[in-house]
Amino acid sequence: MHEGEVDTSPALVRQLLADQFPHWADLPLKRVASAGTDHAIYRLGEDKAVRLPRIDWATGQAAKEMHWLPRLAPQLPLAVPEPLALGEPAAGYPWHWSVYRWLPGQNVTIDTLMNPAATAVTLAHFLTTLQQIDTSGGPLAAEHELRGVPPISRDETTREAIAALHGMFDAGVLTAIWEAALQAPDWERAPVWFHGDVLPGNLLFVDGRLTAIIDFGGLGVGDPACDLMIAWNLFTAESRAAFRQALSVDDATWARGRGHALAQAVIFIPYYLKTNPVGVAYARRAVAEIVAEWQIQHG
């Protein structure tokens, strides 16, 4: 999916395990099919997963999760990944890699979500709880190029992506939505924890119920508006309203959140158009939800 991507294989993972964690080396190993873009994932035995970065920008995520998730997990109302080990570069593989406890569950989409309103409230509770945790020592968004900053930081790339989607969407409408996000007042309260990548692929459901949030590589401290992206990626009008109400989100934060959702989707589509059809379909549906909401509000 990326230029310069590093390939992995079961044989490589076996070798890494044998060299560094030999007590796990003989467990069954199977690559996990995923529309994720940053990591290759292998299921190890029944209760573990191996994650290997595919591209250089994902290489610091394992260490971040190893440090912060054990501190955050006891305070959160849903399951989050449990890091078990951090592997070293070896066997021709250039980066740190990681072993986690396997979390059961499946992803859902805006079309297969069974209990939208209940999911909206459950997710809102998770996010508000995350925001209330002490941020001392947390990675500040502005210092680590994370999403919890004003949308203006993505202005150039977002406008370029809108232009690249000529003929697929109404560029004028997308530009108006984006400019509304830029014009919204910035977050003026104390910075809080945000997940940074709350999208359908990072939510796990068991029997239709949201049970876990995964992939905290974008975790940071700053403006939580970026965590509203899920409002247009997983919910439709009624459940989106329930989500907003449960979060008590003001108009400015909602506009910034919609801007983050738009930027993520329109940048994703041209970049992954030929390599990640599942992710592109999700992104296109998110743009459609964003546009539909905007048109209802603005005619």
- Kindly state the average pLDDT of the residues 158-184: 96
- Kindly state the average pLDDT of the residues 86-114: 95
- Kindly state the average pLDDT of the residues 73-90: 97
Distance CA 49, CA 29 (A): 9
Residue with the bigger pLDDT between 3 and 131: it is 131
Q: What is the pLDDT of residue 37?
A: 74
Query: Which domains, and CATH codes, for the chain?
Result: 10-101 (3.30.200.20), 116-298 (3.90.1200.10)
- Does an H or E element contain 48, and which? strand 48-53
Distance CA 29, CA 13 (A): 9
SS (H, E, C) 160-175: HHHHHCECCECHHHHH
pLDDT in tens, 243-278: 999 999 999 999 999 999 999 999 999 988 988 888
Percent of residues, the chain, with pLDDT higher than 70: 98
Burial of 228 (0-12, 13-18, 19+ CB in 10 A): buried
How high is the mean pLDDT of the chain? 94
Distance CA 187, CA 48 (A): 39
